[in-house]
Amino acid sequence: MNQIAVREKYRGYLARQDQIISKFRRSEGREIPRDFDYDSIPGLLNESRQKLNRIRPGTLGQASRIPGIPPSCVGVLSVYLERRSCGRKALFLLAALMLAIAWPLRAEDATGVYSYPKDTDWIKNSVVYEVYLRAFSPEGKFSGLESELFRIKGLGADCLLILPVHPSRVSDAGGAAHPLAVEDSSAVSLEYGTKDGFKNLADQAHGNGIRVLLAWVADGKAPEAMKGKMLAWMKDYPLDGFFLIGGEALPPDFLKELKEAFAAVRPGFVTAVADEDFYGTVLNAVSGAVPVSSLNPILEADAKSVSVWPVPIRFIEHFDRPRSAAILADSSRSAAALLFSLTGVPLLYAGQEIGETRQPSLVAREPIDWKTGLNMHGDVRKFYKKLTALRKDHPSLPRGQKFRVAVDGNDSILIFAATYREDAVLAAFNFSPEPADLVFEVPSIFYSSKGRLMLQEVFGNGKLSPIGAVSTRLRLPAHGCEIWEMK
Q: Could you report the per-residue pLDDT of 131-159, keeping only the tens digit for each?
A: 999 999 999 999 999 999 999 999 999 99
Using a CB cutoff of 8 Å and minimum separation of 24, what contacts does 439-444 make?
439/467, 439/471, 439/472, 439/473, 439/474, 440/405, 440/406, 440/407, 440/408, 440/415, 440/471, 440/472, 440/474, 441/405, 441/406, 441/470, 441/471, 441/472, 442/405, 442/470, 442/472, 443/403, 443/405, 443/417
Statement: residue 104 has pLDDT above 70: no
Per-residue confidence (pLDDT) for residue 3, from 0 to 100:
53
Per-residue confidence (pLDDT) for residue 101, from 0 to 100:
44
Per-residue confidence (pLDDT) for residue 107, from 0 to 100:
35
Lowest mean pLDDT across 174-178, 222-226, 288-292, 453-457: 174-178
Is 29 or 275 the better-scoring residue by pLDDT?
A: 275
Is 337 or 80 the better-scoring residue by pLDDT?
A: 337
d(CA 311, CA 124): 9
Lowest mean pLDDT across 13-22, 48-57, 272-281: 13-22
* Max mean pLDDT range (23-37, 164-178, 273-287, 297-311): 273-287
Of the candidates 274, 267, 272, 265, the one whose C-alpha atom is nearest the C-alpha of residue 236 is: 265
Statement: residue 102 has pLDDT above 70: no
What average pLDDT does the structure give for the chain? 85
Lowest mean pLDDT across 9-18, 303-312, 324-333, 366-375: 9-18
Per-residue confidence (pLDDT) for residue 7, from 0 to 100:
54
Statement: residue 213 has pLDDT above 70: yes
Q: For residue range 417-448, what is the model confidence (pLDDT) as tens digits? A: 999 999 999 999 999 999 999 999 999 999 88
Q: What is residue 187's three-state secondary structure?
A: coil
Per-residue confidence (pLDDT) for residue 8, from 0 to 100:
56
Is 466 or 386 the better-scoring residue by pLDDT?
A: 386
Per-residue confidence (pLDDT) for residue 27, from 0 to 100:
65
Q: Please give the domain boundaries of the chain with CATH numbers for all domains.
A: 2-109 (1.10.150.570), 120-393 (3.20.20.80), 401-486 (2.60.40.1180)
Percent of the chain with pLDDT over 90: 57
Per-residue confidence (pLDDT) for residue 309, from 0 to 100:
86
Statement: residue 110 has pLDDT above 50: no
- For the chain, the farthest-separated pair of C-alpha atoms sits apart, in whole angstroms, at 79
Count CB atoms within 10 A of the CB of residue 469. Answer: 8
Report the side by side order of strands in the sheet with 471-476.
436-441, 471-476, 463-466
| CA distance readout (Å), 309 to 118, 257, 354 | 17, 12, 32
